Amino acid sequence: RVFILVGGVRTLSQTQDSILKNLIYPICAPPTCIAHLVIHFSRADNRPGSKGEDPGGKVLAADSNDGASDFFAPLNNDIFPDGFLIVHEVDGYEIGSAEEQRAMDLMESEIEDPEVVHRLRVIRYGDPRRYSMWFA
């Protein structure tokens, strides 16, 4: 089974146990299943603004993503023995970057259904933080 995590690493130290215990383990418990965890973390962190601020939030340099896969290493979790949770790291991206905006524009330009494009743009401009996480 394959599980995909996308976003920032800011809260990973608090959520890692819950992800393993409540998401991955119930669906793919050893020894009958090997879980493949694909992680794709941003090099920036888009934190929500306070009330009344731009829904785009504030894009800040992230704490280092180096070692993000270590949160799931067998030595750091007591649920998956060695070999039953394989972590695959995808190169990072940067939330809110010009590069990301160009990639979003390109994706939308390739969609043939104008209604789908319209819906995506409403989400993109109405809740850009979540759209960015989905897009990654």
What local confidence, expressed as pLDDT, does residue 54 receive? 57
CA dihedral 1, 20, 11, 126 (to 10 degrees): 40
52 exposure class (CB count in 10 Å sphere: 0-12, 13-18, 19+)? exposed
According to the per-residue pLDDT averaged within each range, which of 44-48, 104-108, 110-114 is highest? 110-114
Give 2's pLDDT tier (boundaries 50, 70, 90). Answer: very high
Global pTM?
A: 0.63
Residue found under tokens 């941003």: 42
pLDDT over 60 (residue 62): no
Greater model confidence, 60 or 97 = 97
CA distances from 111 to 99, 105, 121, 133 (A): 19, 10, 12, 19
Percent of the chain with pLDDT over 90: 12
As a whole number, mean pLDDT of residues 50-73 equals 58
